[in-house]
């Protein structure tokens, strides 16, 4: 996988994936949302969503606001701090709107395809509250690479996931360990 991909789906849950599509400040360098159609593409590609909603201009702006609030709240969660009151209020307000409607088709669950992006955002905000307010919070963490800001909820049974992805950060760590071992074996520095 080329890095960065257009959208990073490493969060393991839609609230984190939504928050990691880009943003203000230094996060602008991995911005994936340049127009409303990008949000529709994101929803279509996102694990756990897979539907293509229409995105109005007000929804586009609202999604940016929600993303900033979610990003700040996720960082506060990592630090063991409460959310900022405005962010807390915004997340609850978005979650109070109607969310995605599940349907049962041919033995499988899917989301009703005529959804709006407001419903998508409500589902994202509800997912965030579920993540912060249940035992899932214990599995929420940041990539172990200190230079990587990506976050995820560890869904693995042993609960030992360390990296956003093996391709991006897991392999970097493996290479670093290999180099360290190589230096040790040979007693000098071949890594330069």
Between residues 8 and 124, which has the closer beta carbon with respect to Zn ion? 8
- Burial-class residue 41 by CB neighbours within 10 Å (0-12, 13-18, 19+): middle
Q: CB 163 → Zn ion: shortest distance, Å?
A: 5
- Burial-class residue 35 by CB neighbours within 10 Å (0-12, 13-18, 19+): exposed
Q: CB 157 → Zn ion: shortest distance, Å?
A: 21
Between residues 90 and 164, which has the closer beta carbon with respect to Zn ion? 164
The torsion defined by the Cα of 79, 123, 145 and 41, in degrees rounded to 10, comes to: -150
Please pick, from the candidates 65, 97, 116, 145, the single residue that binds Zn ion as defined by CB under 5 A. Answer: 145
Q: CB 167 → Zn ion: shortest distance, Å?
A: 10
Please pick, from the candidates 95, 143, 151, 153, the single residue that binds Zn ion as defined by CB under 5 A. Answer: 143
Q: CB 116 → Zn ion: shortest distance, Å?
A: 33
What is Dmax (Cα atoms) for the chain? 64
Please pick, from the candidates 45, 51, 62, 148, the single residue that binds Zn ion as defined by CB under 5 A. Answer: 148
Q: CB 5 → Zn ion: shortest distance, Å?
A: 13
Element spanning 135, H or E: none
CA-based nearest residue to 21, from 12, 9, 13:
9
Please pick, from the candidates 63, 95, 128, 164, the single residue that binds Zn ion as defined by CB under 5 A. Answer: 164
Between residues 116 and 162, which has the closer beta carbon with respect to Zn ion? 162
Distance CA 18, CA 102 (A): 20
Binding site for Zn ion (CB under 5 A): 143, 145, 148, 150, 164, 169
């Amino acid at each position: 996988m080329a890095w960065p991909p257009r959208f990073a789906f490493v969060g393991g849950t839609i609230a984190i994936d939504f928050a990691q599509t880009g943003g203000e400040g230094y996060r602008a360098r991995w911005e994936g949302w340049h127009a409303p159609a990008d949000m529709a593409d994101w929803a279509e590609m996102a694990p756990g969503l897979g539907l293509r909603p229409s995105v109005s201009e007000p929804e586009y702006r609202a999604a940016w606001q929600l993303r900033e609030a979610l990003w700040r709240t996720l960082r506060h969660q990592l630090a063991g701090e409460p959310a900022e009151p405005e962010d807390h209020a915004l997340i609850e307000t978005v979650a109070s709107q109607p969310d995605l409607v599940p349907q049962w088709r041919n033995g499988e669950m899917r989301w009703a395809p005529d959804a709006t992006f407001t419903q998508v955002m409500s589902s994202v905000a509800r997912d965030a509250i579920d993540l912060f307010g249940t035992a899932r919070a214990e599995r929420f963490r940041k990539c172990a690479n200190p230079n990587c800001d990506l976050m995820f909820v560890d869904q693995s049974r042993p609960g030992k996931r360390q990296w956003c992805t093996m391709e991006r950060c897991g392999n970097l760590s493996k290479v670093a360990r290999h180099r360290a071992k190589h230096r040790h074996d040979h007693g000098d520095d071949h890594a330069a």
